[in-house]
Structure formats: structure tokens, C-alpha cells
Chains A and B, each alone.
Chain A
Amino acid sequence: DAKTTQPPSMDCAEGRAANLPCNHSTISGNEYVYWYRQIHSQGPQYIIHGLKNNETNEMASLIITEDRKSSTLILPHATLRDTAVYYCIVIDAGNTPLVFGKGTRLSVIA
């Protein structure tokens, strides 16, 4: 079973920041938070991951709360091409296979 809770859908205006929340209240100390997205009919795409510090890469930023029970994925300037299903996944460092929940369907609107 997925260990995370995400809203089923969100809308975001093009050019605005998209903030996607994820609750993972049962996360343990050695588990990472990973984010993936799946654009219609394509394979999922890795976005970012973190353990306890905030992370940023060319695609997004990941903000993890101090108690690690929730996190937020931030797409700083959403475009229409960011319309996708976004998955938040908690997993340990030992390459345990990913378990996907239902994710959040983000619609970026012009």
C-alpha cells in the first residue's frame, strides 16, 4: 500500500507556481520522499527526491517539513506541458520497488 496521501486533483494557472502537497505521516527515519510525474500515456518521469533537507533541481523544488510528515513539490512557473499526474512516493534507500498510489492530477490552465 502507498504510504502517502495526495489530493486527487489540482488546477494551476500557467506561469504561476504549482504547489503539490503530500502527507506521509508514518515515514521512518531511513525513508526518502520521491516525486514522479506521468504525462498522458508516457512512462513516469523522475522529478526529485529528498531525505530531510529541502532540494532543488532544474525541474522543481522539494520542501520537507521539519518533522518529515509532509512535503510539497513546487513547480515555480507552471506551463501547459506540466499537466500530468504527480506521484509522491516514500521509499527506503535499499532499492525497494516503488509503490504507486493514485497521485494528484495537475491541470495547468492557460
Chain B
Amino acid sequence: DAGITQSPRHKVTETGTPVTLRCHQTENHRYMYWYRQDPGHGLRLIHYSYGVKDTDKGEVSDGYSVSRSKTEDFLLTLESATSSQTSVYFCAISEEGDGYTFGSGTRLTVV
């Protein structure tokens, strides 16, 4: 979507390797979020951020870490990827009182 981009769009990685997904926004929105989506589970919140260096855990944060050193970038890191982390990852941004804008997603496969 305009103003938010995710990279890479697709990635295949091996079990045990570190992986970093990037979410970049040009809207200067304060809030940023990482979700994962799996069949049968819908969208689940991993981590979110309410400002530079301010982050918090979501429902399924185990095995993931995040960093936000600049307003525009929110990074999601899988320290040691596992097959259970094969999923589609969505980033979202928002401001107070507004709806969320979601990115186009990153499809990650861990083999």
C-alpha cells in the first residue's frame, strides 16, 4: 500500500539461520505493528511499537525480536528460524484515531 513497504516480499531460509524482515513507512506514523497469518489462526500480533525505541510484545512474540531506531523503520528478527515460523508476515502503521494501513506482506518459508 502507498506509504508502507515490506521487504523482502518472499524469502526461503534454512532452519537455524537468522532472518530480518523490514517494514518501512513514509507517513511518519507513530505506531507500527508486526502480525503473522497462518491458515486456521488468522492474523496474530507479534510485536508492536508506539515510538522510537518503544516496543511491546504481542500474542505470539516467542522467537521474535524487534527494533525501531527510526520512526520510519520497524525490523522483525527471527534469531534462529524454525519451521513453525513459516508464515505470511504483515506490517501495519497507524496514528491516533485512524485506521491501520497494512503492507503487502512477506511470505517466509523456513526449510
Does B bind A? yes
Interface size on A, residues (CB 8 A): 20
Contacting chain B: which of A20-28, A60-68, A72-80, A95-103? A95-103
For chain B, what secondary structure do more than half of its interface residues adopt (helix, strand, loop), or is it mixed?
Answer: strand
Of A49, A94, A99, which one neighbours B99 at CB under 8 angstroms?
A: A49
**Interchain CA distance A104-B104 in the complex, whole Å:** 21
Complex-state Cα separation, A103 to B59, whole angstroms: 18
Query: Do B58 and A97 touch across chains, with their CB atoms under 8 A apart?
Result: yes
Closest chain A residue, CB of each to CB of B43? A100
Q: How far is the CB of A99 from chain B (nearest CB, A)?
A: 7
A93-B96, A97-B48 known; A41+B102 contact, CB < 8 A: no
Interface-centre pick from A36, A42, A97 (highest chain B CB count, 10 A)? A97
Chain B residues within 8 Å of A100, by CB? 35, 42-44
- With A and B bound together, what is the CA distance between A8 and B21 in angstroms? 32
In the complex, are the beta carbons of A43 and B96 less than 8 A apart? no
8 Å CB interface, A46-72 against B: 46-47, 49
A102-B100 contact given A42-B105, A43-B105, A95-B50, CB 8 Å threshold: no
By the criterion CB–CB under 8 Å, are B33 and A97 in contact? yes
Closest to A34 in B: B99
Give the residue name and chain of the B residue nearest to A46 (CB).
B99
- 5 smallest beta-carbon distances between A and B, as pairs: A43-B102, A46-B99, A100-B43, A44-B102, A43-B90
